[in-house]
Amino acid sequence: MKKYFQPSNRRIWSFKTKNQELHWHGFTKIKAGGFIKVRAGKSFYDGDEIYWAKRLAKGYGDISISKAKMLKRQNGKCPFCQAHFKNGDLMESHHLLEKKNGGKDEYQNLILIHRHCHDQLHALNGC
């Protein structure tokens, strides 16, 4: 203990080596978010795309809040291909009315589509 934990001007027990000192900054004030358990008998590979799209639309997974809101509004579907989003799909926001034509970055003007659908959409429109 004397070798690595030595009193310092900040705390009684600080982890120290010859060249460095590590400080404990206390507990974080960020609360851990709750989660909803996966329904019994469900697997990501079971083919129930509707269940997983609804779950993804509720914000479970590594998805931003804005994308979760758009997914919820769209019932977990891509408006371009009508397929349900799956966890791990690459998603992009698309402006219904382009910004160059006066469209704004507002939820009413944005939809969430697959990245490959977004590429196809812009290729078809010549954008």
State how far the alpha carbon of 113 is from the alpha carbons of 38, 67, 102, in Å: 25, 10, 21
pLDDT band at 82 (very low <50, low <70, confident <90, very high): very high
Output the pTM of the full model: 0.56
Integer Cα distance of 29 and 4 in angstroms: 28
Q: Answer whether residue 114 shows pLDDT above 90.
A: yes
Ordered by where they begin, the domains of the chain are: 64-127 (3.40.1800)
Are 84 and 70 in contact, with CB atoms under 8 Å apart? no
Amino acid code (one letter) for 29? K
Q: Answer whether residue 1 shows pLDDT above 70.
A: no
Structure-model confidence comparison of residues 119 and 16, the more confident one:
119
